[in-house]
């Protein structure tokens, strides 16, 4: 059962603690939380998150979303923010990856379609760079292909957080679901428990959608989409992890190809397992 944490302005907040591991143990509570957008937290929400021990926030939103929404209430605390966009960024020059490792921009193969305005969200009309039978699985695999720096950086932020790490994006289900699934797998969580954690966001789908529709940043993109398009189907995450197994031999070997190390895994496991 998901460890839901109810707050005034967060509808998809939960602690992944208690998820069983393959060796008969469990993920430690209070180490890794996941949620929807932190933008409009009430003072009571901020206090509650600090009371939960949150010291680091891993923000997977794009540069455009961060700029459009502005600083959130937690930015006025001592919580450390780590932004790791999972999308190719277009606003500083078409097709340029601003966060390439080594500090130098790298040219990306694709360009933003001419018909898409600069103020559009980064996923509008952006075809996944990885094809899969399950289209959403292809989107998740594209995060790895397009932004390996952000995937590794986000996982390291979780591993190195002084207290609890809180991972979020906008809805807290796709980008967040992908990074959390990778972290849990590295920590030895049971596969079906990882899938179940991902799928749990469907329980809050209507509340998530209602919250995003209230934001000018997301309203135009979401208002004509049915609720069914926002569900987190277990077969999607199952297919994602099975593809990683088949193509790379597992999550850790896949991450090793993009700069993740054995020491990174040891720190992450120690963080989430105690």
Strand, helix or coil at 118?
coil
Q: Is the pLDDT of residue 14 over 70?
A: yes
Q: Which pTM does this prediction carry?
A: 0.89
Reported as a single tens digit per residue, the pLDDT across 16-68 is 999 999 999 999 999 999 999 999 999 999 999 999 999 999 999 999 899 99
Q: Give the start-end residues of each E strand in the chain.
A: 3-4, 14-15, 32-35, 54-59, 80-83, 96-97, 106-107, 164-168
% of the chain at pLDDT higher than 70: 86
Q: How many CB atoms lie within 10 A of CB 113?
A: 11
Is the pLDDT at 112 greater than 60? The verdict is no
pLDDT at 90: 55
Token pair for 166: 């809180």
In degrees rounded to 5, what are phi and psi of residue 106?
A: -115, 135
Angle (CA) 20 23 28, round 5°: 45
The 10s digit of each residue's pLDDT in 218-233 is: 998 888 899 999 999 9
* Amino acid 221: pLDDT: 85
Give bridge partners of residue 83 from the DSSP assignment. Answer: 59
Mean pLDDT of all residues in 266-270: 98
Q: Are 133 and 243 in contact (CB under 8 A)?
A: no
Mean pLDDT of 167-182: 98
105 CA to centre of own chain: 23
Identify whether the C-beta of residue 149 lies closer than 8 Å to the C-beta of residue 157: no
DSSP-assigned letter for residue 228: G
Residue 102 burial (C-beta neighbours within 10 Å; 0-12, 13-18, 19+): exposed
């Amino acid at each position: 059962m998901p460890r839901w944490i109810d707050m005034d302005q967060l509808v998809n907040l939960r602690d992944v603690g208690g998820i069983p591991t393959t060796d008969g143990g469990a993920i430690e509570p209070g180490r890794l939380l996941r949620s929807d957008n932190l933008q409009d937290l009430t003072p009571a929400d901020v206090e509650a998150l600090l009371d939960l021990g949150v010291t680091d926030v891993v923000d997977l939103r794009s540069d455009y979303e961060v700029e459009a929404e502005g600083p959130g209430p937690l930015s006025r605390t001592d919580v450390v923010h780590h932004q790791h966009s999972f999308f190719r960024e277009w606003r500083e020059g078409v097709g340029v990856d601003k966060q390439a490792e080594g500090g130098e921009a790298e040219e990306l193969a694709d360009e933003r379609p001419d018909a898409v305005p600069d103020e559009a969200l980064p996923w509008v009309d952006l075809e996944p760079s990885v094809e899969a039978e399950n289209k959403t699985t292809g989107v998740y695999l594209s995060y790895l292909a397009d932004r390996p720096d952000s995937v590794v950086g986000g996982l390291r932020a979780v591993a190195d957080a002084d207290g609890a790490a809180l991972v979020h994006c906008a809805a807290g289900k796709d980008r967040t679901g992908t990074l959390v699934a990778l972290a849990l797998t590295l920590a030895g969580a049971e596969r079906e428990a990882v899938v179940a954690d991902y799928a749990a966001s469907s329980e809050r789908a209507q509340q998530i959608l209602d919250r995003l529709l209230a934001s000018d940043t997301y309203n135009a993109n979401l208002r004509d989409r049915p609720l069914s398009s926002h569900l987190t189907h277990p077969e999607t995450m199952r297919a994602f992890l099975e593809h990683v197994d088949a193509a790379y031999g597992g999550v850790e070997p896949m991450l090793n190809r993009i700069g993740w190390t054995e020491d990174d895994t040891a720190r992450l496991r120690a963080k989430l397992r105690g």
